Amino acid sequence: MACSSLDISAECLKLSQRKELPKHVAIIMDGNSRWAKAKGMPRIAGHREGAQSVKRCIKAAIHNNIEWLTLYTFSSENWRRTPEEVSDLTSLLKYYLKYEARQLHKEGIRVRIIGEIDRFDRKLQDEFSAIEQLTKKNNRLTLTLALSYGSRGEIVRAAQRIAEDIQQGNLTIDQVTENVFAKYLFAPDIPDPDMILRTSGECRLSNFLLWQSAYAELIFVDTLWPDFTENHFNAALETYVRRERRFGARPGL
């Protein structure tokens, strides 16, 4: 069952003693605007509070020895929002990267960026490069930020690059397999997510990791992202370990 409510309990804090946890968790961080609206606050207040949830989420991932954490930070569709909100979002992103980079590095976190980053201004692109360079040798956790990211666009881009290689004689049609196609995606070295979590009660992927999520366990929770805590993260992991992953095989095979 894809949609599942979460039981937050002390049992969730003992996950290290349970069966295998996901190596890669991806999160659609939804609900910032609704959180702010419910409190009579401007949208940017929800995004600021959501940044605090990111810190809590990273802490929970490290505590549970998660190796890869991918966050849907800024979708390609976000560019359609009002210029004021786009400006607020990019300014908050600049602030976060500038002031959190050294702390992330200190904690042994490697930061990766995926998406159409050339749509951001040059100064922000430089911040992306700087944090990736600073943290590239860290191995405690790989934190991937999906920025100006849309999975359909990623797949189209991969198909175009494959077509170019075929046209140039570097590849034949018969050589195009699933494994080869995957190598043309934004970050082919990042493993597919074992678990995708979405907050705010919405039960859809919203153009996020469509290719990579083929066999991911999907978990949807009602909690708005700014209210998301370490206990919510642990509860999602508890739901994950209760499931049987069969990858299309029959039970017992």
The answer to whether the annotation marks 18 as part of a ligand binding site is: no
Q: Is 33 annotated as a binding residue?
A: yes
Residue ranges in 64-121 assigned as alpha helix (H):
83-106
Check whether 148 is labelled as a binding-site residue: no
192 annotated ligand-binding residue: no
Residue 206 labeled ligand binder:
yes
Q: Is 75 annotated as a binding residue?
A: yes
Nearest to 157 by CA among 114, 126, 205, 120: 114
> Under a CB-based contact definition with an 8 Å cutoff, are residues 237 and 217 in contact?
no
Which residue of the set 7, 64, 65, 78 is catalytic? 78
The reply to whether 43 sits in an annotated binding site is: yes
What would the two tokens of residue 29 be?
A: 């961080």
192 is a catalytic site residue: no
**Side chain identity at residue 236, one-letter code:** A
User: CB–CB of 214/248 below 8 Å?
Assistant: no
Q: Residues 7, 30, 64, 126: which is the catalytic one?
A: 30
User: Does residue 22 contact residue 194 with C-beta atoms inside 8 Å?
Assistant: yes
246 among annotated binding-site residues: no
Is residue 34 marked as binding? yes
The response to whether 80 counts as a known ligand-binding position is: no
Q: Annotation-wise, does 47 bind a ligand?
A: yes
Provide the residue type at 182 as one letter.
A
Q: Is 78 considered catalytic here?
A: yes
* DSSP secondary structure code for residue 21 in this structure: P
Q: Check whether 194 is labelled as a binding-site residue.
A: no
Antiparallel, parallel or unpaired: β 24-28 and 217-220: unpaired
Alpha-carbon gap, residue 123 to 110, rounded angstroms: 21
| 123 in Cβ contact with 49 (< 8 Å) | no
* Distance of alpha carbon 35 from alpha carbon 4, whole angstroms: 21
Q: Residue positions in the annotated binding site for substrate?
A: 31-35, 43, 47, 75-77, 79, 81, 198, 204-206
**Residues that are catalytic:** 30, 78
In the annotated binding site for Mg(2+), the residues are: 30, 217
Binding residue positions = 30-35, 43, 47, 75-77, 79, 81, 198, 204-206, 217
